């Protein structure tokens, strides 16, 4: 098999783990577009508690994401994923059979306790070679996007048929299906990727949190998911007030999502080819702020609201696709696992805070007030992001090398640093690993391979 292609084991690993990720995210997202309406029969219902219930999974995800990743380094990826899926199934059952919003909130929090994202990504890295790892990670990213789109369409269609209880039961079935996929389809790990690529290393965390470039991106994913969660506290009710019944909401979400992908793809392609990543990134934040202001001004017009949702999802999809890539580019060599762990924590913490912000601001300011409040947060994000570096084609390569001792490591590092395009070299004797951070536009990969092979 060519090094440019995935092996059969790599394909099976990437596809099966993408399916596990997608099943879980589908269950989480499916509740978003309908809960504010179908939860009105629950004891204790209020806009504030709707926000808590929708965002509760984010808090437990944020608290447990890094610990679960570290635990997977110690006891293995598969046991952590198995336990996480069991917790997700249990939370779904608790939420399904609760007659109060407090019980549903507890169930959602337990679902979030199944924080398997870091373990799934680490296992994906373990099952793939360095040169194919980006493809496998991209497959998982695509599966999350597809799950999100399907969930926004499926929720409004399935809720009238099965009710809120039925949706939570479906999330449990999805988690149990994920366990079956883990057992029967995911290959058994043979080679483990270097820890710096997959897991959070505690001693690196504080240093990475202080990194101003990474901090801008962490704040970005926090703001992005805060806005997403907050919007779905109020948007379903806003659409219903326009005479658009909940079972028809998919008719707005589906074309808006398809249209947003069509509009977003040229931004990604041109940004990469023309080295305009930063320009489009800032444009997308401004577009999101504009769409939120327009939502407040278009609250009485369904066609205008559709255009606003289309623009919002165009910006959201671009930013959601760009942020992980930027984290990977800007992470110091050998720290990607730790950087992604911090990033994921901010992401889920944003989802939790979005529920609180959405519910509280709706109670105090109404739906238009929510949209304007979120637009102000987007402008704050725009200001914070203004000093971000304009990313070139930076990439990190990871290689196994026979590093004999500290002197040999120093000699190897010196040789590699002489190569054109090398930005940083990190050698770790204990892991027999070399991390290369390079400008991929001018870096000669084969020269580095020859040095490592002949060392």
Phi–psi pair at 139, nearest 5 degrees: -65, -40
Q: Is residue 190 part of a domain?
A: yes
Q: Is residue 206 part of a domain?
A: no
For residue 43, the SS3 value is strand
pLDDT digits (tens, 9 = 90+) for 368-421: 999 999 999 999 999 999 988 766 567 777 777 888 888 888 888 888 888 887
Out of 344, 373, 392, a domain closes at 392
Find out whether 285 and 319 touch, Cβ atoms under 8 Å.
yes
Co-location of 245 and 193 in the same domain: no
Co-location of 135 and 173 in the same domain: yes
Q: What sign results for the dihedral spanned by CA atoms 174, 175, 176, 180?
A: positive
Residue 319: which CATH number? 1.20.1250.20
How far is residue 152's CA from residue 163's CA, in Å, rounded to a whole number?
Answer: 15
- The share of the chain scoring above pLDDT 70, in percent, equals 95
Co-location of 411 and 386 in the same domain: no
Report the pLDDT value the prediction gives residue 1, as an integer from 0 to 100: 44
Residue 350: which domain range?
211-392
- Give which of 148, 164, 161 is closest to 35, Cα–Cα: 164
- Beta-ladder partners of 43: 100
Tell me, what DSSP letter sits at residue 100? B
Find out whether 27 and 92 touch, Cβ atoms under 8 Å.
yes
End-to-end Cα spacing for the chain: 26
Burial category of 430 from C-beta neighbours within 10 Å (exposed 0-12, middle 13-18, buried 19 and up): exposed
Written as six digits, the tokens of 327 are 């984290």
Say which residues have a Cβ less than 8 Å from residue 408's Cβ, sequence separation at least 6: 455
Co-location of 181 and 100 in the same domain: yes
Co-location of 222 and 99 in the same domain: no
Which of the given ranges, 141-150, 215-224, 268-277, has the highest pLDDT on average? Answer: 215-224
Co-location of 366 and 237 in the same domain: yes
Q: Is residue 435 part of a domain?
A: yes
Of 24-38, 142-156, 161-175, 381-395, which range is least confident? 381-395
Co-location of 44 and 190 in the same domain: yes
Task: Tell if the pTM clears 0.75, that is, is over it.
Answer: yes
Written as six digits, the tokens of 161 are 């048929």
Q: How many domains does the chain have?
A: 3
Say which residues have a Cβ less than 8 Å from residue 150's Cβ, sequence separation at least 6: 26
Per DSSP, the chain holds a count of helices (H) and strands (E) of 16, 3
How far is residue 405's CA from residue 356's CA, in Å, rounded to a whole number?
Answer: 53
């Amino acid at each position: 098999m060519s090094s440019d292609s995935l092996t059969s084991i790599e394909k099976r690993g990437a596809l099966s783990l993408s399916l596990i990720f997608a099943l879980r995210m589908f269950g989480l997202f499916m509740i978003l577009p309908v809960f504010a309406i179908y939860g009105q029969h629950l004891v204790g219902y209020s806009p504030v508690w709707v926000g808590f219930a929708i965002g509760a999974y984010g808090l437990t995800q944020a608290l447990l994401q890094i610990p679960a990743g570290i635990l997977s380094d110690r006891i293995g990826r598969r046991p952590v994923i198995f336990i996480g899926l069991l917790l997700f199934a249990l939370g779904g059952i608790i939420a399904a059979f609760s007659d109060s919003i407090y019980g549903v909130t507890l169930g959602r929090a337990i679902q979030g306790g199944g924080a398997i994202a870091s373990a799934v990504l680490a296992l994906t890295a373990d099952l793939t070679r360095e040169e194919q790892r980006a493809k496998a990670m991209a497959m998982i990213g695509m599966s999350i996007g597809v799950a999100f789109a399907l969930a926004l369409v499926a929720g409004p269609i399935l809720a009238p048929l099965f009710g809120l209880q039925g949706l939570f039961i479906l999330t449990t079935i999805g988690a149990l299906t994920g366990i079956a996929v883990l057992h029967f389809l995911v290959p058994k790990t043979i080679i483990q990727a270097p820890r710096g690529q997959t897991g959070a290393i505690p001693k690196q965390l504080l240093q990475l949190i202080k990194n101003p470039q990474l901090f801008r991106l962490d704040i970005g994913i926090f703001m992005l998911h805060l806005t997403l969660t907050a919007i779905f506290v109020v948007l379903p009710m806003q659409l219903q007030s326009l005479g658009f019944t909940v079972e028809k909401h998919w008719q707005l979400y589906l074309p808006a999502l398809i249209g947003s992908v069509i509009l977003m793809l040229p931004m990604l392609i041109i940004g990469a080819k023309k080295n305009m990543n930063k320009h489009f990134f800032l444009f997308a934040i401004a577009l999101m702020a504009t769409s939120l202001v327009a939502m407040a001004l278009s609250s009485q017009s369904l066609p205008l609201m559709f255009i606003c949702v289309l623009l919002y999802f165009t910006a959201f999809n671009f930013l959601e696709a760009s942020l992980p890539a930027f984290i990977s580019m800007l992470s110091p060599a050998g720290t990607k696992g730790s950087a992604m762990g911090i990033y994921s924590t901010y992401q889920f913490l944003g989802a939790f805070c979005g529920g609180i912000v959405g519910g509280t601001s709706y109670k105090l300011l109404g739906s238009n007030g929510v949209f304007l409040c979120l637009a102000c947060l987007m402008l704050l994000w725009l200001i914070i992001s203004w000093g971000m570096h304009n990313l070139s084609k930076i990439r990190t390569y990871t290689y196994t090398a026979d590093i004999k001792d500290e002197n040999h490591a120093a000699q190897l590092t010196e040789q590699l640093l002489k190569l054109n395009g090398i930005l940083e070299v990190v050698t770790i004797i204990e892991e027999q690993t070399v991390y290369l951070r390079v400008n991929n536009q001018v870096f000669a990969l084969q020269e580095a391979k020859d040095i490592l092979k002949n060392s």
